[in-house]
Each structure stands twice: as C-alpha cells, then as structure tokens.
C-alpha cells in the first residue's frame, strides 16, 4: 500500500498514519463480472467507509474490483479537500492517468468525495480526463452516471441530501484484516469551524437509524470481526428519534414511538451486541462530549478507553476565531472529567493546527502548554491551510508566513513526540488485554494489536493468531509502539 505523507503537513507516529492522508485501494475480486472497478481513497476514515458503500453499489451493477488501475475499466478517486495539499495530490494522480487513457480511450475516470463536491462541474473543465463527478450524497446515482458516460456524455451529481445515510447498503469491506471494521453512524457536520471545508463538502448533519447500526455490528461480529469503530465528524451530537422514521404512519403510532437515542444510548446498544466485540468511536467534539458518555464507557469493558478529542489550539482567542465554541478552560474541564471518570490510563489524542490567522507567539505557546497539561498519547498535527469558501477565508487574512507556520508545527510535533514516549514508558511493566489484528509490519514472527487505549503493541506470535484476545506484558517501547510478550 502506497502512503502519501504531506511533508511536514502531517506527522504522526508511523502506525497511526492510516487514519488520515493515506491512500487505500480496492482489492482484487473476481466473480466473472463484465467490468472492473478500481477505487483509490484519500482523506479520512469516512471516505474509506464511503468507498465500501460505493463498491457495494457498483458490484450490483456488474463490476468486480481490482487492485491495479491498469486492469480497470472504471477508475474512481474518492477525494479529500481538507487541506490544499490533499487536492494537489489528487490533481497529480489524475495527471498520471493521462497516458493510460490515451492507450485505452474507453477508460472511465470519476472523481468522488469532498473535492468533487467542492468543485462540482468546474472539475470537468479543469481536468479534461475526468468523465464523472459525484459528491458524497450521490453514490446511489453512480450506475446512472456511469451509463451517461457510456452513452457519450460527461456526468455530474453533487446534490447534497438532508436524509441520505446509506443505512440499507451493506458495505463491501475493503483492505480488511477481518478483525476490525468501521461503521458510519452519521454524515455531514453542522458545526462551522471557520477553517473547515467539511460542512460544505458533506452537507448537513444527519444520524443513521440505530437499529441498522446494531444490525451491522452484529453481522460483523457473526462474520468474525472483533472490533468496530463508530464514525462521525462529531459523534457526540448523534441523535436519532424514531419519529423521523415514521413520517408516513398514523399520528397515534407516531406518538408512541418518540424515543430519542443519543450517543451514550447508541454506545450502550452496540456494546451489548457481544462482550467480545470491542467498540471504538471517532471523533468526539470537546463542546459536546458528556459525562453520560464517559460513564457509559466506564460501565462496559468492551467500550475502549480511548478518546480522540481534537483541541486545534490551546488559546481561547484563537479557538474563538476558529469558531470551536469552547475555551481553553472548557477543554481542560473535559479532560479532567475523562481522567476523573476513566482514569489516567484512558488514551487521549488530539488534532492541532499551527499558525491559524493572527496567532501570536504567546498564543502558540499556549498550544504547547495545553499539550503538557493533557499529556496526549498522540496527535495529528497540521499547519493552517486556507480553504476557499470557508468562514476563515472570507473573514480573516491567512497572515502567518509559511516558515513561521512550519516552525510552530515542528515545535508541536517535537513536543508530542516527547510526550508520546513518556506516555508509552509509563506502560512498560504493565499487562494489557490486546486484540490481535495480524502480523507486525516488520516480521511474520511477530503479531500486533492494540490495547483498549489504542496503543499498538508488537509481540512474538507463539501459537496465537488474529482475532484472538491475548494478555501482553510490555517490556519496552518507542514513541510509537509498545513491545511485549504474551503471558499465558
């Protein structure tokens, strides 16, 4: 699997990179269907999860998948717009497909995802090679869009829906280790963080029917999976009322079923699928994470004690400009609640943006002191990249010079690496329950898995295999990984 890491734009411990900025492709699947589909996915887990929905839709339309674009009849790039570099990467990739298309004029090239939504038909004008543009809510229409191209016209659908959750579509698991899987529980985002393009590319927030989520978790468990990660841009605002499902039904019937399911309730429902099914979730929003969620996590051993709680900045004025709607003090209060309810071993991670508009040296220092306070296990770290159309692009000048942004980012990264190492050293000597996910990246004599706090642990395999829970005692570590030995 090729990895694209934006130089200094992101730096994370090596084994955590796959969450963002990596590229994932479809695997080879040969069931004798007429045409072959190749999908390359960029960006966040949401996009990877969407590619599994797209594959499911396309399989029903007579497509097998392939892991090599040379063999494909249709190439889809499922794209990300979060930073400028993410879009540049996709444009470069499209350029690389030019010669392929010259040799094979019937090849169909489609752009899906956030960049498709942001640029719409403009993408057809700017990138000659593109035949099809489909936004994140238009995937059910892909068979029609492909047919239009087959009939000789380029096709575009970037309609954003208020309802679409693809709840009834059974995703085809791609790049799967057969042990861990993602379940999308909501789509879109109603927050308006001033730097962020997601509300424009993914539309309004909507939650998926909890029963379909539980069914998907149960089905995965029955097929041998042992961990699910519930995905949403802001999982704490998950909210589903049975009323919304009953639009066509009689009033009386509607009145009876007005139960509201919030995120804590959903966590509990999924945790009850089976004690051996681990639950993770991402992303938590500091303004919305409740003590109720933390108490639910505590009650269920199988809900992992790990929270991705992006701070973005440690300074209240910058947070205000970012429109994050919390202060440094509020954020610290939420971290204190996590430590009080779930203890010191609960994993906490963050996203940080260096060099947002008008950020002073002192304000940047406050990001560093927040990191000292929280002691994050790891962070995704970026420098600010202005995105067209966002609140920040319209209201604030992108006035921190690139070299200053990069230097501040470097300071944040160095701080995080020191803290990650310290947090891992605390674990040396301890024994953890680990779900085995497969062989380690370096050797087939070693296995790797994660503990509840999301730390990667590598250990000699003995006679164990993926999908099993083992107890591992840690004897050494780096900033990124714990090393241990199975205790029987």
Site membership for ligand SF4, residue 199 (CB under 6 A): yes
385 near ligand SF4, judged by CB under 6 A = no
Query: What part of residues 68-87 is at the interface with ligand F3S (CB under 6 A)?
Result: 80-82
How far is residue 445's CA from residue 384's CA, in Å, rounded to a whole number?
42
Helix (H, G, I), strand (E, B) or coil at 135: coil
- Of 26 and 481, which has the nearer Cβ to ligand F3S? 26
d(CA 226, CA 220): 8
Binding residues for ligand F3S restricted to 377-436, rule: CB under 6 A: none
Nearest approach, Cβ of 197 to ligand SF4 (angstroms)? Answer: 8
The H or E element spanning position 306 is strand 306-308
- Nearest to 240, CA basis, from 267, 209, 284, 196: 209
Measured from each CB, the residue nearest to ligand F3S is 43
Instruction: Give the bridge partners for 371, in sequence order.
Output: none
Binding mask 435-464 for ligand SF4 (x = CB under 6 A): ------------------------------
In the bound state with ligand SF4, the residue whose beta carbon lies nearer, of 309 and 472, is: 309
Query: Of ligand SAH, ligand F3S, ligand SF4, none, which one sits near residue 203, judging by CB under 5 to 8 A according to partner kind?
Result: none
Does the protein bind ligand SF4 through residue 186 (CB under 6 A)? Answer: no
Residue 391 burial by CB count (10 A; 0-12/13-18/19+): exposed, middle or buried? middle
Binding mask 113-132 for ligand SAH (x = CB under 6 A): --------------------
- Among ligand SAH, ligand F3S, ligand SF4, none, what binds residue 199 when CB lies within 5 to 8 Å by partner kind? ligand SF4
Separation of alpha carbons 247 and 256, rounded Å: 13
Do 379 and 350 form a contact (C-beta atoms < 8 A)? Answer: yes
Structure tokens at 90: 């996709």
Q: Is residue 212 classed as helix, strand or coil in its secondary structure?
A: helix
Pairwise CA distance, residues 1 & 175, whole Å: 10
Selected binder of ligand SAH within 351, 411, 446, 485 (CB under 6 A): 351
| Cβ atoms 434, 394 nearer than 8 A | no
3-state secondary structure of 337: helix
Over the window 211 to 250, marking each residue x when it contacts ligand SF4 by CB under 6 A and - when it does not, the resulting string is: ----------------------xx----------------
C-alpha span between 157 and 117 (Å, rounded): 9
Residue 263 interaction partner, one of ligand SAH, ligand SF4, ligand F3S, none, beta carbon < 5-8 Å per kind: none
CA distance 294 to 101: 52
| Binding region for ligand SAH (CB under 6 A) out of 25-33, 195-203, 297-305, 409-417 | 195-203
Sole window of 40-48, 355-363, 375-383, 417-425 interacting with ligand F3S (rule: CB under 6 A): 40-48
Helix locations, 322-376, DSSP H: 328-342, 361-374
- 353's contact among ligand SF4, ligand SAH, ligand F3S, none, with CB below 5 to 8 A by partner kind, is ligand SAH
How do the residues of the chain divide into helix, strand and coil, expressed in percent and rounded to 5?
Answer: 35, 20, 40
The answer to whether residues 157 and 141 touch, using CB atoms and an 8 Å cutoff, is yes
Q: How many residues bind ligand SF4 (CB under 6 A)?
A: 9
Query: Number of residues in contact with ligand SAH, rule: CB under 6 A?
Result: 17
Q: Is there binding between residue 452 and ligand SAH (CB under 6 A)?
A: no
Report the half-sphere exposure of 357 (CA within 13 A, side-chain side): 17
Structure tokens at 184: 């999308």
Q: Is 196 in the site for ligand SF4 (CB under 6 A)?
A: yes
* Chain residues in the site for ligand SF4 (CB under 6 A): 189, 191, 193, 196, 198-199, 233-234, 285
Positions touching ligand SAH (CB under 6 A) are 82-83, 195-196, 198, 233-234, 283, 285, 310, 312, 351, 353, 382, 384-385, 387
């Amino acid at each position: 699997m090729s990895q694209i890491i934006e130089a200094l734009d992101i730096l994370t411990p090596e084994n955590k990179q796959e969450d963002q900025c990596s590229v994932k492709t479809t695997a080879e699947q040969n069931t004798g269907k007429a045409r072959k589909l190749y999908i390359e996915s960029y960006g966040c887990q949401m996009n990877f999860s969407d590619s599994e929905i797209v594959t499911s839709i396309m399989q029903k339309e007579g497509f097998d998948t392939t892991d090599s674009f040379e063999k494909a009849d249709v190439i889809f790039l499922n794209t990300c717009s979060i930073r400028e570099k993410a879009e540049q990467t996709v444009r470069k990739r499209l350029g690389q497909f030019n010669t392929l298309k010259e040799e094979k004029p019937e090849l169909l090239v489609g752009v899906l995802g956030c960049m498709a939504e942001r640029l719409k038909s403009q993408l057809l004008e700017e990138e000659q090679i593109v035949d099809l543009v489909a936004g994140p809510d238009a995937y059910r229409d892909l068979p029609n869009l492909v047919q239009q191209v087959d009939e000789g016209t380029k096709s575009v659908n970037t309609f954003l829906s208020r309802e679409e959750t693809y709840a009834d579509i059974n995703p085809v698991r791609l790049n799967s280790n057969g042990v861990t899987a993602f379940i999308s529980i909501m789509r879109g985002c109603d927050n308006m963080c001033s730097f962020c393009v997601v509300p424009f590319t993914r539309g309004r927030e909507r939650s998926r029917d909890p029963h379909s989520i539980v069914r998907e978790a149960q089905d995965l468990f029955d097929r041998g999976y042992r961990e699910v990660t519930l995905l949403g841009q802001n999982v704490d605002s998950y909210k589903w009322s049975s009323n919304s499902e009953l639009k066509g039904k009689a009033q009386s019937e509607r009145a009876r079923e007005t139960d509201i399911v919030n995120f804590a309730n959903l966590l509990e429902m999924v945790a009850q699928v089976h004690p051996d099914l681990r639950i993770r979730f991402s992303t938590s929003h500091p303004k919305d994470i409740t003590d109720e969620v933390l108490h639910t996590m505590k009650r269920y051993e199988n809900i992992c004690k790990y929270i991705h709680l992006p701070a973005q900045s440690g300074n209240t004025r910058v947070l205000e400009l970012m429109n994050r709607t919390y202060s440094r003090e509020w954020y610290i209060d939420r971290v204190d609640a996590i430590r009080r309810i779930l203890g010191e071993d609960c994993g906490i991670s963050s996203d940080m943006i260096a060099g947002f508009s008008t950020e002073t040296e002192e304000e940047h220092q406050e990001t560093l002191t927040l990191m000292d306070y929280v002691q994050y296990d790891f962070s995704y770290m970026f420098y600010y990249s202005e995105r067209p159309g966002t609140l920040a692009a319209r209201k604030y000048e992108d006035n921190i010079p690139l070299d200053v942004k990069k230097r501040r980012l470097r300071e944040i990264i160095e701080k995080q690496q020191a803290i990650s190492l310290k947090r891992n050293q605390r674990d040396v000597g301890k024994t953890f329950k680990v779900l085995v996910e497969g062989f380690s990246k370096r050797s087939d004599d070693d296995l790797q898995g994660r503990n509840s706090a999301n730390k990667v642990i590598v250990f000699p395999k003995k006679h164990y295999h993926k999908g099993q829970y083992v107890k591992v005692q840690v004897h050494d570590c780096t900033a990124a990984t714990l090393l241990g030995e199975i205790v029987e």
